Structure 1
Amino acid sequence: MKRILQYTRNARGVTLVEILASLVILSVILAVFVPLFGHSMTSTKVSEDMLDATYVAQTTMEELHQQMTTLNETSIGSLKNATYLRKDTERYYYKKETSEAYIEISIKAPVDGLSSVLVKVYPNSGKSKLLAQMETINRWGKTP
Structure 2
Amino acid sequence: METIENMHDQDEHAKTPEDPATASAERPAVDGGESVPEDHRQALDEAHSRLEAAQKRIDAMLLREIERQAAQRLDVPSDLFDLGKQQVADLLGEDGDVDTEKVTAALDALLKSRPNLAARPIGWGDVGGGAHSSADDDAPNWKSALRGQRH
Higher relative contact order (CA 8 A, sep 6+): 1
Task: Report the structure, 1 or 2, having the larger strand content.
Answer: 1
The verdict on a shared fold, with TM-score over 0.5 as the criterion, is: no
Task: Report the structure, 1 or 2, having the larger helix content.
Answer: 2
TM-score, normalization by structure 2: 0.31
> For the pair shown, which has the larger CA radius of gyration, 1 or 2?
2
